[in-house]
């Protein structure tokens, strides 16, 4: 097992302000296939369970996975209608840049080693990689929770044929706290089950026509992209550290108004906001959500 490579990795990550780094050795724990088959299909993720358990398909010879948390907590912003994770530049791009830099630096010491970066869009279950790499525990809000950063982080990973020593899963838990379950707009949180189809985060991104019940879920809280309710009241997030990553404090867009959006053509919208994750479903979905919230306001006497 390559302990030296692990120390080098941690050193490199630290130079990039990254201190939540773990490693896991393949194969995955059998808990993962059990979780995936009992949970059923989720929006925006592949249905094929085999694909979700197969790092070999992405990098033949994968022996270990390096997992890195990218914290995104930021000081409070007075006017906001975009979920916290999407207010700075699209995390897919930002994380990819960090992962590529780390790979280039590792390659200097390990030139014959293979590395393959993934962020969100691979079939693998990112939270589980981070769990198995000792970076957090599964909260009742079904997010992964890290002792220092709470659940306010995104996850980037690197598959490699290096044989890195494995970190152990954390044994922390939410205890008796059920704050997230009580405030969830779509009532989708149950102790061991998550219903993604009534999650406000999903509904704000859903392109198909919404039912009346779905519209009501969106109208419950002010966000027009994503949802933070199950994270906002979590004690781990209340005391979480702010993000050490410079990109998180740059070029933030916490709020989009109806006027801003209607003044832009679809093309101009995509051009102006192409670097933000909230743009991926297009302008009309964001406008639909703003209009739903306005309609609700008018209904209140």
Residue 90 touching ligand B12 (CB under 6 A): no
User: What ranges make up the beta strands (E) of 131-223?
Assistant: 137-138, 144-145, 153-160, 189-190, 193-194
- Going from the C-alpha of 218 to that of each of 49, 156, 178, 227, the distances in angstroms are 30, 29, 22, 9
Among 201, 219, 237, 289, binds ligand B12 (CB under 6 A): 201
Residue with Cβ nearer ligand B12 (5 or 22): 22
Smallest distance from ligand B12 to CB 223, Å: 8
User: For residue 63, what are the contacts with CB-CB under 8 A and spacing of at least 6?
Assistant: 25, 26, 160, 161, 162, 163, 164
- In three-state secondary structure terms, 233 is coil
Smallest distance from ligand B12 to CB 294, Å: 21
Smallest distance from ligand B12 to CB 138, Å: 4
Half-sphere CA count of 142, side-chain side, radius 13 A: 18
Residue with Cβ nearer ligand B12 (9 or 223): 223
Residue 224: CB atoms within 10 A of its CB come to: 25
Give the C-alpha separation, 92 to 171, whole Å: 29
Residue 53 touching ligand B12 (CB under 6 A): no
Smallest distance from ligand B12 to CB 142, Å: 4
Q: How many residues does the chain have?
A: 301
Give the C-alpha separation, 71 to 84, whole Å: 11
Residue 66 touching ligand B12 (CB under 6 A): no
Across-strand partners of 21? Answer: 68
Smallest distance from ligand B12 to CB 165, Å: 20
Q: Which has the closest alpha carbon to 215: 141, 142, 294, 282?
A: 294
Residue with Cβ nearer ligand B12 (142 or 283): 142
Residue 151 touching ligand B12 (CB under 6 A): yes
Among 73, 87, 127, 288, binds ligand B12 (CB under 6 A): 127
Q: What is the footprint of ligand B12 within residues 128-147 (CB under 6 A)?
A: 128, 131, 138, 141-144
- Residue tagged active-site, from 19, 54, 120, 167: 120
Whether residue 120 lies in the annotated active site: yes
Residue 31 touching ligand B12 (CB under 6 A): yes
Across-strand partners of 23? Answer: 66
Among 18, 20, 66, 85, binds ligand B12 (CB under 6 A): 85
Residue 218 touching ligand B12 (CB under 6 A): no
Do residues 28 and 53 make contact, with C-beta atoms less than 8 angstroms apart? Answer: yes
Give the C-alpha separation, 71 to 243, whole Å: 5
Residue 236 touching ligand B12 (CB under 6 A): no
* 211: phi then psi, degrees, rounded to nearest 5: -80, 170
Among 28, 98, 115, 202, binds ligand B12 (CB under 6 A): 202
Residue 44 touching ligand B12 (CB under 6 A): yes
Among 158, 230, 253, 286, binds ligand B12 (CB under 6 A): 230
Q: Give contact residues for ligand B12 (rule: CB under 6 A).
A: 31-32, 35-36, 39, 42-45, 83, 85, 119-120, 122, 125-128, 131, 138, 141-144, 151, 153-155, 194, 196, 199, 201-202, 226-228, 230
State the catalytic residues.
120
């Amino acid at each position: 097992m390559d302990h030296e490579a692990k120390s080098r990795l941690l050193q490199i990550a630290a130079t990039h302000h990254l201190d939540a780094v773990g490693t896991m050795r393949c194969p995955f724990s059998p808990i993962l296939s059990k979780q995936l088959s009992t949970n059923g299909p989720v929006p925006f993720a592949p249905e094929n369970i085999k694909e979700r358990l197969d790092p070999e398909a992405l990098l033949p010879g994968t022996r270990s996975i390096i997992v890195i948390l990218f914290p995104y907590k930021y000081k409070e912003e007075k006017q906001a209608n975009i979920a916290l994770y999407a207010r700075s530049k699209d995390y897919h791009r930002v994380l990819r840049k960090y992962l590529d830099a780390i790979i280039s630096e590792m390659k200097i010491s390990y030139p014959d080693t293979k590395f393959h970066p993934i962020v969100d869009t691979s079939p693998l279950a990112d939270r589980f990689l981070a769990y198995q790499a000792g970076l957090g525990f599964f909260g009742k809000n079904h997010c992964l929770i890290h002792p220092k950063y709470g659940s306010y982080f995104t996850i980037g990973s690197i598959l490699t044929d290096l044989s890195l020593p494995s970190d152990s899963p954390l044994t922390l838990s939410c205890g008796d706290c059920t704050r997230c379950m009580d405030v969830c707009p779509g009532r989708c949180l149950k102790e061991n089950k998550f219903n993604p189809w009534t999650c406000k985060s999903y509904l704000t991104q859903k392109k198909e026509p919404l039912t009346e019940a779905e519209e009501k879920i969106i109208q419950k809280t002010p966000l027009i992209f994503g949802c933070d309710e199950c994270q906002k009241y979590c004690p781990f997030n209340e005391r979480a550290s702010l993000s050490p990553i410079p990109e998180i404090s740059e070029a933030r867009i916490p709020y989009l108004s109806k006027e801003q959006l209607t003044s832009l053509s679809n093309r101009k919208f995509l051009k102006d906001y192409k670097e933000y994750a909230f743009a991926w479903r297009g302008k009309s979905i964001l406008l639909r959500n703003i209009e739903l919230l306005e309609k609700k306001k008018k209904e209140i006497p």
